[in-house]
């Protein structure tokens, strides 16, 4: 396989390839751990439920998809044991969608896998450069968002 050089890939492409590589490894390893039915879109929904759950309306805003699409995804994840609906503590008519223990297991596994991948990358470029890369990317995100970084990552569909 040909090596990708600095001369034939712009930064946006390299960032995208890096994310794709990470995402591919994440889902391969989750599959090996028995989470064979978790898709990339589910991870964004899980992120929207951390730490204390969320309403369907908030998930619609978080994911940028329709209420029907959120409802379908929640139904699917509930049937598979990753999420549950419970009465909303302050809105008697509403439901709060929360991660089940199986859902939290996926989240913990994802964090472990990401840590291992980052450690492997640090061995490739050096721990100091990895720390600098993290700090540099954070600086760029802070600058481009004018310091208003959302605390939850919104998918780019």
The structural domains of the chain, with segments of one domain joined by +, span 6-144
Which tens digits make up the pLDDT trace of 47-65?
999 899 999 999 998 888 8
Rounded-to-integer distance, Cα 44 and Cα 65, Å: 12
Which tens digits make up the pLDDT trace of 127-155?
999 999 999 999 998 888 887 766 556 66
Rounded-to-integer distance, Cα 131 and Cα 61, Å: 32
CATH of domain 6-144: 1.10.10.10
């Amino acid at each position: 396989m040909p090596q990708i050089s600095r001369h034939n890939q712009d930064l946006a492409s390299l960032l995208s390839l890096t994310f794709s590589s990470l995402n591919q490894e994440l889902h391969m390893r989750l599959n090996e751990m028995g989470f064979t039915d978790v898709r990339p879109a589910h991870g964004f929904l899980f992120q929207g439920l951390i730490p204390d759950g969320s309403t369907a309306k908030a998930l619609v805003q978080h994911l940028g998809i329709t209420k029907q699409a959120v409802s379908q995804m929640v139904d699917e994840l509930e049937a598979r044991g990753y999420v549950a609906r419970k009465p909303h503590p302050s809105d008697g008519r509403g439901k709060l969608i929360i991660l089940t223990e199986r859902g939290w297991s996926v989240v913990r596994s994802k964090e472990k896998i990401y840590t291992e991948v980052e450690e492997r990358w640090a061995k490739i470029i050096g721990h100091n450069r990895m720390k600098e890369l993290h700090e540099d990317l954070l600086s760029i995100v802070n600058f481009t968002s004018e310091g208003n970084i959302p605390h939850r990552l919104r998918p780019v569909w």
